[in-house]
């Protein structure tokens, strides 16, 4: 498993996969583990599962008011096939992005 943390304006950072999980195989649901809470640095109720699928899950902070995270949006686009844009308020991702993959 590989875990990458994307903070706005900083290079991506690899994180030890200990304590992270991929989505459940039977249900497809992703769980917010204590390790996700620790890395994102906010209460669990503010963490969004931005996207998940077989072999990946991406976490963000709900309604984060920080600067747009262009590298995080590019990584999400690659994982999901969805288009994110700093010009579109509906798709812009602000704040940190945490992606767990196989």
Give the pLDDT of residue 87. Answer: 87
Sign of CA dihedral 64, 91, 20, 71: negative
Give φ, ψ of 8 to 5 degrees: -55, 135
Give the pLDDT of residue 58. Answer: 97
Give φ, ψ of 2 to 5 degrees: -125, 135
Report residue 76 as tokens. Answer: 């999400």
User: Model's pTM, two decimal places?
Assistant: 0.93
User: What are 34-89's pLDDT values in tens digits?
Assistant: 999 999 999 999 999 999 998 999 999 998 888 999 999 999 999 998 988 888 88
Give the pLDDT of residue 12. Answer: 98
Helix (H) or strand (E) holding 75: helix 70-80
Asked whether residue 97 carries a pLDDT value surpassing 90, the answer given is: yes
């Amino acid at each position: 498993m590989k875990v990458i943390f994307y903070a706005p304006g900083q290079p991506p950072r690899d994180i030890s996969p200990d304590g992270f999980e991929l989505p459940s195989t039977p249900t497809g649901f992703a769980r917010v583990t204590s390790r996700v809470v620790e890395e994102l640095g906010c209460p669990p109720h503010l963490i969004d599962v931005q996207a998940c699928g077989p072999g990946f899950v991406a976490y963000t902070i709900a309604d984060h008011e920080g600067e747009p995270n262009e590298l995080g949006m590019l990584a999400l686009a690659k994982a999901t096939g969805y288009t994110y844009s700093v010009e579109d308020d509906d798709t812009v991702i602000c704040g940190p992005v945490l992606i767990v993959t196989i």
